[in-house]
């Protein structure tokens, strides 16, 4: 089955054709480890997790590389504020990041290279750019990439280079499109950097942010690889600059498919550290939400649409996920003889799900396949077993659970081990249910309905089963 992605490079949905038959190399811009990641950041990592799982679902072997930016303007600035060495400072946030990935059940990437372990590779790459005439050392001793030497500059972010000023330089890591300029590959040491410095052919200093990703992706994935991802804010200047550096140095295409996720927003604004409108994952966990619930919220909106974060969405996630675990509890009770037409439903929903996630990660369509199975099972059990899962054949129930587990290879939010809550029900409630059952057997529908309503008022729903009744407490 073909897989399609919306490629930012061409602004088109394209059929995905990896370089190697069955293997995909992909690079993900990872966290800058100067603080706890917020859930906006995790929206990006969940999107990338969905991407790797969707590729695996379609039978591809995946090699994902996610860098850790442990040296840049922000890490240096904040480590100095708390008077810690850069290494000790970033180590605590690396550790926290990996813990958070586990909480959200984000699958581990194959490689997590840290920038500070790859300074030599970065210097080597800058040397190539110097030799080939794409880079120059300015009077401030920093080394810059000359965008005038790379006529394709701007092809990812679609910048019209006609009227750009030539020779303007910028040495901050992040800047806006209207500051298009030669950007720093190597930043000459300044006192503000404290003891953070490395030797290089151009004197003491440190790498720029963009060269990190070019050097590390090339080392682990080769000069050309399949997919590069990040949030939309990474597109410019970061990814544009990565393309310029890598393609100039290597003389070949850097990346075939660029995928960018839209932002997570709060009240119409991007969730970000600088705006202060952020929640860390840890804060949400402290409020009582689970990793699965937050994962469900972050996963549920298509990655190219903005996701508006609300607590109502987290509450709804809890209700939805409980619906599934309730069904799994019931399916585990199956021990009867009723054989239902389950195979067609399973194969149709499987096909639907696979097609949907392969269609540019169309998660809403994929979830409609999951709900299709859920509703289909309910209907079959109602029609064939009078709503009583115990009378379903065990073999059929197992097939259904296996299919939900298959969906969960991608979703990883469903819980198959939830135990049924045993609630003590008072005798008078039991007696009302019994009276209702008798009224129903006597075809006294009015009395049966009255008793149902009374039970409801007292907080219980009564359900009929093959040989009696079940009571459920209303949440
Ligand atoms: P940073 O640590 O700032 O380099 O960001 C790490 C990743 O999170 C990048 O891919 C960003 O594009 C992404 N990101 C940051 N803020 C948000 C947000 N509000 N919504 C989605 N992705 C974000
Ligand atoms: Zn990057």
CATH code at 4-9+16-261:
3.40.50.620
Judged by its nearest atom, the ligand closest to the C-alpha of residue 115 is 2
- Listed in order, the ranges of the chain carrying CATH 1.10.730.10 are 270-411
> What is the pairing mode between strands 307-308 and 264-266?
parallel
Nearest ligand 1 atom, CA 232: 12
Architecture of domain 270-411: Orthogonal Bundle (1.10)
Judged by its nearest atom, the ligand closest to the C-alpha of residue 232 is 1
As a whole number of angstroms, the distance between CA 234 and CA 115 comes to 17
- Listed in order, the ranges of the chain carrying CATH 3.40.50.620 are 4-9+16-261
Give me the DSSP letters along 197-266: -B--TT-SEEE-HHHHHHHHHHHHH-SSEEEEEEEGGGIIIIIHHHHHHHHHHHSS-SEEEEEEEPPEEE
Residue whose token pair is 């409609």: 368
Half-sphere exposure of 181 (CA within 13 A, CB side): 15
230 within ligand 1 shell (Cβ under 6 A): yes
For ligand 1, atom 11, the nearest C-alpha belongs to: 231
Ligand 1 centroid to residue 270 C-alpha, Å:
10
Ligand 1 centroid to residue 49 C-alpha, Å:
14
The answer to whether 226 touches 257, Cβ cutoff 8 Å, is yes
Tens-digit pLDDT profile for the chain (475 aa)? 999 999 999 999 999 999 998 999 999 999 999 999 999 999 999 999 999 999 999 999 999 999 999 999 899 999 999 999 999 999 999 999 999 999 999 999 999 999 999 999 999 999 999 999 999 999 999 999 999 999 999 999 998 877 776 668 888 888 877 678 899 999 999 999 999 999 999 999 999 999 999 999 999 999 999 999 999 999 999 999 999 999 999 999 999 999 999 999 988 899 988 888 999 999 999 999 999 999 999 999 999 999 999 999 999 999 999 999 999 999 999 998 877 789 999 999 999 999 999 999 999 999 999 999 999 999 999 999 888 999 999 999 999 999 999 999 999 999 999 888 777 788 899 899 989 988 988 999 999 999 999 999 998 888 876 667 888 887 7
pLDDT in the model for residue 466:
61
Token duo for residue 83: 């008077």
Global pTM reads: 0.89
Nearest ligand 1 atom, CA 30: 6
User: Pocket of ligand 1, candidates 38, 231, 268: which has the most ligand atoms within 8 Å of its Cβ, to mutate?
Assistant: 231
The answer to whether 225 touches 27, Cβ cutoff 8 Å, is yes
């Amino acid at each position: 089955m073909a897989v399609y992605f919306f490629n930012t490079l061409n602004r088109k949905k394209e059929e995905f054709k990896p370089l190697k038959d069955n293997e995909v190399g992909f690079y993900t811009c990872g966290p800058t480890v100067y603080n706890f990641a917020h859930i906006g950041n995790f929206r990006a990592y969940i999107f990338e997790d969905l991407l790797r799982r969707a590729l695996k679902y379609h039978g591809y072997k995946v090699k994902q590389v996610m860098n850790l930016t442990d040296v840049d303007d922000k890490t240096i600035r904040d480590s100095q504020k708390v008077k810690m060495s850069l290494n000790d400072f970033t180590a605590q946030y690396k550790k926290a990041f990996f813990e958070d990935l586990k909480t959200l059940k984000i699958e581990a990437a194959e490689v997590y290279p840290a920038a500070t372990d790859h300074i030599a590779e970065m210097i080597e790459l800058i040397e190539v750019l110097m030799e080939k005439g794409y880079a120059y050392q300015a009077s401030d001793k920093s080394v810059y990439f000359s965008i005038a030497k790379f006529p394709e500059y701007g092809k990812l972010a679609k910048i019209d280079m006609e009227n750009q000023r030539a020779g303007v330089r910028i040495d901050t890591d992040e800047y806006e499109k209207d500051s298009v300029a030669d950007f720093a590959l190597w930043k000459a040491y300044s006192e503000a950097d404290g003891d953070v410095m490395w030797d290089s052919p151009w004197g003491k200093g440190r790498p720029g942010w963009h060269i990190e990703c070019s050097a590390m992706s090339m080392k682990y994935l080769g000069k050309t690889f399949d997919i590069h991802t990040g949030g939309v804010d990474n597109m410019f200047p970061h990814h544009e600059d990565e393309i310029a550096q890598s393609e100039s140095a290597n003389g070949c295409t850097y990346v075939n498919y660029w995928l960018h996720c839209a932002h997570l927003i709060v009240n119409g604004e991007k969730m970000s550290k600088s705006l202060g409108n952020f929640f860390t994952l840890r804060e949400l966990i402290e409020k009582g939400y689970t990793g699965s619930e937050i994962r469900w919220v972050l996963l549920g909106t298509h990655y190219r649409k903005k996701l508006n974060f609300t607590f109502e969405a987290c509450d709804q996630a809890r209700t939805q996920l409980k619906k599934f675990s309730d069904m799994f509890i019931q399916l585990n009770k199956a021990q009867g003889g009723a054989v239902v037409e389950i195979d067609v439903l399973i194969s149709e929903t499987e096909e639907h799900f696979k097609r949907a996630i392969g269609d540019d990660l169309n998660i809403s369509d994929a979830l409609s396949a999951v709900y299709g199975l859920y509703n289909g099972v309910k209907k079959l059990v109602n029609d064939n077993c009078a709503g009583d899962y115990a009378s379903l054949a065990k073999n059929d129930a197992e097939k259904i659970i296996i299919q939900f587990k298959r969906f969960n290879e991608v979703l990883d939010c469903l819980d198959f081990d939830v135990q049924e809550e045993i609630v003590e029900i008072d005798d008078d409630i039991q007696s009302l249910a019994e009276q209702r059952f008798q009224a129903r057997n006597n075809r006294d529908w009015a009395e049966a309905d009255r008793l149902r309503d009374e039970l409801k008022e007292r907080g219980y729903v009564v359900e009929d089963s093959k040989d009696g009744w079940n009571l459920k407490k209303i949440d």
